[in-house]
Amino acid sequence: MNRREVIYAAVFSVASFGVAAAMSLSLSLYALSVFLDPILTLTIPLIIISVGIQAINQKNGPLLVGIISAVLYAIFSLFFLTVSFLIAGIIVEMVSRILGYRGLKAVMVNTTLAGGLVGVLSVVFGFLFLGLPKGITDLAILTALFSLVYFTESAVMGVISHYLGKFLLRSGVMK
C-alpha cells in the first residue's frame, strides 16, 4: 500500500460518507422505512466510492475504501453499516482482482456488488442490531423486493461511474 492509495481511499471515503450523511439527514427516509434510506444513499455516495476505486486502480484499493468507510460509520456508532462496508469491501476486493478496476465490465460488477451488498446488508444488520420495526409483517418479501431494487440501482450507478471515471481519465484529472 502506498501513500497515494491511502490518501485517495481516505478522500473518496470521507466524501462519500459526508454526502450520504447529508442526504440521509436532509430527507430522513430511515424514519419512514428502513428500506428507503439505502435507495437514497446508493446514488451519489456510491458513485463517489466507485470513482475512487477507479482512481486508486491498485490491489487493495476497494478493501482500503471499505475499511476507511467502516471506521467512519463506527465513529458515529452505526455499527450495522460498519459490518456492511467491511463485508462489501472484502468481496469487491476479491472480485476486482479478477476483473480489474476500470473498464465498463469491471466498474459495473464492482459497483453493483458494492452498492447491492451494502444496501442489503445494512437492512439485515440494521434489523439485527436495532430490532424489527413494528408493523413489518412480510419481511422476506420486502427484503427480496428491495434487494432487487438495490442491485438494479447499483448497476445503473455503475454505468454512470464508468463514464464519469472515463471522462476524468481522458481529461487528465485522474491517472
Tell me the pTM.
Answer: 0.89
* pLDDT tens, residue by residue, 133-155: 777 777 788 888 889 999 999 99
Total length of the chain: 175
Q: What is the per-residue pLDDT for 34?
A: 61
Q: With a cut of 70, which residues of the chain have pLDDT below it?
A: 28-37
- Are 54 and 87 spatial neighbours (Cβ–Cβ below 8 Å)? no
In whole angstroms, give the CA distance from residue 2 to residue 10. Answer: 13
Q: How confident is the model at residue 85, as a pLDDT? A: 93
According to DSSP H, which parts of the chain are helical? 3-27, 29-32, 36-41, 44-56, 61-75, 79-99, 104-130, 139-171
Q: Which residue has 475512487 as its cell numbers?
A: 52
The whole-number pLDDT of residue 80 equals 82
Rounded-to-integer distance, Cα 174 and Cα 61, Å: 15
What per-residue confidence (pLDDT) applies to 28? 65
